[in-house]
Amino acid sequence: MSSSGDLLHVVTNDSISAGRKAFGRAITWGSAVCMVIIAACQLAQVLGWWDLGFENWRPTLYAYVMWAVCLCWGQVLQYGEHGKRTLFVLPAALFVISLTVFPLLFGLIIAFSDWNLSSPDGRQFNGLDNVRQMWADPFYWNAMLNMVWYVLAILVEYAIAFGLALALNAEIRARKFFRVAFLLPLMLSPVAVSWMIGKSMLEARFGPISRLGRALGWDNPSFFESPWIAKATIMLMDAWTFIPFMMIMILAGLQAIPKELNEAAKVDGANGWRAFWEVTFPMMLPVSITAILIRIIFKLKLADIVIAVTSGGPGGATDTVTSFIFREYRDRSNVGYGTLLAMVYLVVIILVMTLLMKLADRYARPRT
Amino acid sequence: MTGTPMPPANAQIFHDSPGDRAFQARWWTGRATVYALLILWAFICLFPIYWTLTTSFKTAPDVMKGHMLPWVDFFPAWLGWRSLGLSPDTWGNESTVRAEFLKRFSNSAIVSVTASVLAVALGSLAAYGLSRFSYKFAWMRNSDISFFFLSQLILPPVVLALPMLVLYKELALLDTRIGLILLYTLSVLPIVIWIMRDQFSSIPTELEEAALVDGLSIWGAFITIILPIALPGMVAAFILSLVLTWNEYFFAALLTSTHANTLPVMVASQTGSQGISWWSMAALSWAAILPLIVIGVVLERYIIKGMAAGAVK
């Protein structure tokens, strides 16, 4: 994507009258001032200076929405054709900014306070207490460590997904059936899956998988009692839902490899195994890295299966950071501490992902 | 010449060379492995769905004994579906469970469809703008803006969850569909932008240039010329968003309580309360995943297209 110059050249002779420009500027700033005034009034009420009888912050929200609309409209009024171009990106940008940047800034304030939503005294700034508490919280670090294991499991998922993609890419009959069947797990809601598999099929007494385990000589199959088996079970269930995702990305990559390449390898005398390692696999490296990175991003959000099946047990062995914070909030309804944990998690994620992307960039670049 | 005996008259005269025969054997074993692998995995994928469906028709003894084949080792009963009020004989009657289920179902449907439409609309516009024009907002150029949008993918929901909870409480958006819709739109927007950017950059700019010469405005050209061409990509993005938002549990569990609960929350809340009555849970789970199974089977092409976007440049 070129960074300078439009791909689409548009020559326009906008003749924007001074009145229109002024009107555009007026509504943009007018609505902004309006918003600020309303917000200030509400703030005054919250601080107890001036009771205006607001029940909630809705008026400010409406003023904000009005300001956003006026800003977009004002762009067109003031800049004509250029404004219309801005209009493509501006709504999405405003939407994302108002729903992420603002809550994140707000979250930073919450993170350093003691705020129990059910207690009447409201938010209390408590400095670095939360940080100290986090530092001494073994369950949080345990959850972080679990995330490392969960992320490492992606390598196995990747190998399976690659194998399946190769099988699907071979000349087979009923390809459509297999593709649909392989895709289905991805479509199912993780919560339903966690009941279907985690609670029903893995039930210790009469779940089919436990039966199978017993038939294979495992005396007392229980999947959620010992820490490592529980962790592995969660990994398997998560893998079950998300392998199709990697498989499809890899399949798309495989189909984009020109056939001549494999034929040439065959002519040169490479058998299937060598052709795979020396032609297919290197060609697939960029796609693989993209697939793995996206999968890591999704894996870091893993929560619903854990919440629904084990709620972190036994002894926090299956906890993910998200499910831990979720329970932390559910049990103690302490917003402040939970937010701090989430913020720290975000920072860790950003650091790790940046590092991974830098590494990926270095290794995935096609060698010429 | 006399030493070699004549072969029988009906024997095959032309043989494959031994090397070729070995190759054939290898080819067949290769085939067999591929099919065995495919069938095994298809079984792994489909069995839980099958198991849940059959369990919803089982009675308690059938569940305990682990019967699997309907009509062969157990006789299907409407037990599970009756408890949801969805079996043929309860269809006419009043049923609080069914009313509850339908309410959750419609909540899920409204929230996921609206959020997906919103995300596709906002995302397509942004992706089109970014693929055609060069912007400069303060220090941010096109690549920065793209990165800003796509980087939202990294943001884990848990970071937004608690601040949003507090904000929504202040804004009286807690336990409303609008609140959920906004967050869901946000969470799928980066994916939509990713898919649509790919889609738009594969459309040549000459098309719009021709349209502009013919006197259409930029927005006119976008709506009448480009959108119809990009429609498959939009459908792909829409379906993918729909799947993700329909299945979302975390935000729904935190931000809704009684009015705006979605189906996953209902499924999750059932497991704890009244012990586990297998058949009704199975029926509920199956009813919750059915729409997506239908979508998956019918629109498989689009889903694969959507996920493959960006994988191959």
Cβ(A200)–Cβ(B283) below 8 Å: no
The residue of chain A nearest to residue B275, with distances taken between CA atoms, is: A199
pLDDT tier, B273 (very low <50, low <70, confident <90, very high otherwise)? very low
Q: Are the beta carbons of B271 and A308 separated by less than 8 Å?
A: yes
Whether residue A32 is contained in a domain is answered as yes
Q: Measured in Å, how far apart are chain B's first and last C-alpha atoms?
A: 66
Minimal CA separation from A173 to chain B, in Å: 9
* Domain around A25: 18-111
251-290 of A, contacting B, C-beta below 8 A: 251-253, 256, 272, 286-287, 290
- How is residue A186 written in tokens? 């991805």
Report the pLDDT averaged over residues B101-105. 88
Report the pLDDT averaged over residues A348-360. 90
User: How would CATH label the architecture of B101-308?
Assistant: Orthogonal Bundle (1.10)
Determine the distance from the C-alpha atom of residue A110 to the mean position of all C-alpha atoms in its chain, rounded to a whole number.
22
Q: Any chain B CB within 8 A of the CB of A140?
A: no
Q: Domain check: are A222 and A174 in the same one?
A: yes
Interface TM-score (ipTM) > 0.90:
no
All residues of chain B having their beta carbon less than 8 Å from the beta carbon of residue A250 are 311
Best residue in A65, A158, A200 for a mutation probing chain B (most B CBs within 10 Å): A200
Report the pLDDT averaged over residues B118-145. 88
Residue B124 has pLDDT above 90, yes or no: yes
pLDDT tier, A4 (very low <50, low <70, confident <90, very high otherwise)? very low
pLDDT tier, A365 (very low <50, low <70, confident <90, very high otherwise)? low
Q: Domain check: are A159 and A107 in the same one?
A: no
Q: Domain check: are A195 and A311 in the same one?
A: yes
Whether residue A119 is contained in a domain is answered as no
Least reliable range by pLDDT among A1-10, B29-38, B158-167, B201-210:
A1-10
CA atoms within 13 A on the CB side of A308: 32
Minimal CA separation from B148 to chain A, in Å: 9
Q: Domain check: are A61 and A177 in the same one?
A: no
Q: Any chain B CB within 8 A of the CB of A177?
A: yes
Residues B49-72: b if buried by 16+ CB within 10 A, e if exposed: bebbbbbbbbbeebbeebbbeeee
Q: Domain check: are A153 and A47 in the same one?
A: no
CATH number of residue A291's parent domain: 1.10.3720.10
Mean pLDDT, chain B, integer = 84
Q: Between A110 and A219, name the one with better pLDDT.
A: A110
Q: Between A349 and A311, name the one with better pLDDT.
A: A349
Predicted local distance difference test score (pLDDT) of residue A210: 83
The Cα–Cα gap between A47 and A299 comes to 42
Residue B87 has pLDDT above 90, yes or no: no
Least reliable range by pLDDT among A89-93, A359-363, B20-24, B103-107:
B20-24
Residue B225 has pLDDT above 90, yes or no: no
Predicted local distance difference test score (pLDDT) of residue B110: 93
Q: Domain check: are A273 and A325 in the same one?
A: yes
Whether residue A125 is contained in a domain is answered as no
Least reliable range by pLDDT among A37-51, A178-192, B81-95:
B81-95
Backbone phi, psi, residue A218, to 5°: -95, 110
Q: Domain check: are A87 and A147 in the same one?
A: no
Nearest to A304 among B156, B166, B250 (CB): B250
Q: Are the beta carbons of A56 and B172 separated by less than 8 Å?
A: yes
pLDDT tier, B3 (very low <50, low <70, confident <90, very high otherwise)? low
Whether residue A4 is contained in a domain is answered as no
Whether residue A244 is contained in a domain is answered as yes
pLDDT tier, A129 (very low <50, low <70, confident <90, very high otherwise)? confident
Q: Are the beta carbons of A326 and B46 separated by less than 8 Å?
A: no
Predicted local distance difference test score (pLDDT) of residue A283: 86
Q: Domain check: are A29 and A140 in the same one?
A: no
Q: Domain check: are A161 and A105 in the same one?
A: no
Whether residue A127 is contained in a domain is answered as no
What pTM value is reported for the model? 0.88
Whether residue A241 is contained in a domain is answered as yes
pLDDT tier, A162 (very low <50, low <70, confident <90, very high otherwise)? very high
Looking at the structure of chain A, the number of domains it has is 2
Q: CA-CA distances (angstroms) from residue A60 to A54, A55, A56, B171, B172? A: 10, 12, 9, 9, 12
**pLDDT, tens only, B143-194:** 888 888 888 888 888 888 888 888 888 888 888 899 999 999 999 999 999 8
All residues of chain A having their beta carbon less than 8 Å from the beta carbon of residue B293 are 184, 187-188
Report the pLDDT averaged over residues B205-234. 86
Residue A240 has pLDDT above 60, yes or no: yes
Nearest to A172 among B34, B64, B253 (CB): B34
Predicted local distance difference test score (pLDDT) of residue A368: 47
Whether residue A304 is contained in a domain is answered as yes
Residue after which a domain boundary falls, among A76, A111, A146: A111
Residue A335 has pLDDT above 80, yes or no: yes
Predicted local distance difference test score (pLDDT) of residue B6: 61
Residue A13 has pLDDT above 70, yes or no: no
Cβ(A21)–Cβ(A12) below 8 Å: no
- How is residue A233 written in tokens? 């079970």
Q: Domain check: are A102 and A161 in the same one?
A: no
Report the pLDDT averaged over residues B120-132. 92
Q: Are the beta carbons of A297 and B154 separated by less than 8 Å?
A: yes
SS (H, E, C) chain A: CCCCCCCCCCCCCCCCCHHHHHHHHHHHHHHHHHHHHHHHHHHHHHHCCCCCCCCCCHHHHHHHHHHHHHHHHHHHHHHCHHHHHHHHHHHHHHHHHHHHHHHHHHHHHHHCEECECCCCCCCEECCCHHHHHHHCCHHHHHHHHHHHHHHHHHHHHHHHHHHHHHHHHCCCCCHHHHHHHHHHHHHCCHHHHHHHHHHHHCCCCCCHHHHHHHHCCCCCCCCCCCHHHHHHHHHHHHHHHHHHHHHHHHHHHHHHCCHHHHHHHHHCCCCHHHHHHHHHHHHHHHHHHHHHHHHHHHHCCCCHHHHHHCCCCCCCCCCCHHHHHHHHHHHHCEHHHHHHHHHHHHHHHHHHHHHHHHHHHHHHCCCC
Using alpha carbons, select from A185, A287, A19, A28 the residue that is nearest to residue B243: A185
The dihedral region occupied by B144, where left means phi > 0, alpha psi between -120 and 50, and beta the remainder, is alpha
Q: Are the beta carbons of B205 and A89 separated by less than 8 Å?
A: no
Residue B92 has pLDDT above 80, yes or no: no
Q: Domain check: are A159 and A85 in the same one?
A: no
Residues 6 or more apart from A239 whose CB is under 8 A from it? Answer: A153, A156, A157, A160
Q: Domain check: are A144 and A239 in the same one?
A: yes
- How is residue A40 written in tokens? 């200030």
